[in-house]
Amino acid sequence: MVSTSPSSLVNIVAEQTGFTLFVGFDFDALEWRESYSIVRTLSKHAFGMAIDINPLQNPCIRGSSVQPATATDCVDRSKAFPHKIDETDFCKQVFESFGFRWGGHWRSVKDYQHFEKNN
């Protein structure tokens, strides 16, 4: 049986593609993060249920704000560049096949680096 932890899925993607993936935080530990919702809650990162992959190529975009700020060259998703996660990307397909939601599908915020496990 394949583990569906974020770290296990990163390993599957790396083995299948030969790419080294940069994870946005130490995914073997829990990271205390508050969510951006109106109600102050912890994000799924705090529970080991979310992961950010290659954030420099897959920024989080909220209106005119880009995080990380050094990722502005990768905001235009119509451009081709290495390590971009998009609809056809193998990384996205693997995570979604194990029940993770991709932040690139969100309506108001586009968080292209983000995958989170559905409840």
Is position 26 within any domain? yes
Is position 71 within any domain? yes
Is position 1 within any domain? no
pLDDT at residue number 26: 44
The helix (run of H) or strand (run of E) holding residue 26 is none
Is position 18 within any domain? yes
Render the burial of 19-40: b for 16+ CB within 10 Å, e for the rest: eeeebbeebeeebeeeeeeeee
pLDDT at residue number 18: 66
pLDDT at residue number 93: 94
Q: Give me the number of domains the chain comprises.
A: 1
How confident is the model over 68-100, as pLDDT tens digits? 999 999 999 999 999 999 999 999 999 999 899
Task: CATH number of the domain at 49, please.
Answer: 3.30.1380
Enumerate residue ranges in the chain where pLDDT < 50.
Answer: 1, 25-34
Q: What is the torsion angle, in degrees rounded to the nearest 10, for the CA atoms of residue 5, residue 11, residue 15 and residue 16?
A: 40
Is position 46 within any domain? yes
pLDDT at residue number 46: 74
The range of the structural domain enclosing residue 27 comes to: 6-117
Taking a C-beta distance cutoff of 8 angstroms, is the pair 71, 103 a contact? no
pLDDT at residue number 15: 76
pLDDT at residue number 38: 54
Is position 41 within any domain? yes
Tally helices (H) and strands (E) across the chain.
2, 6
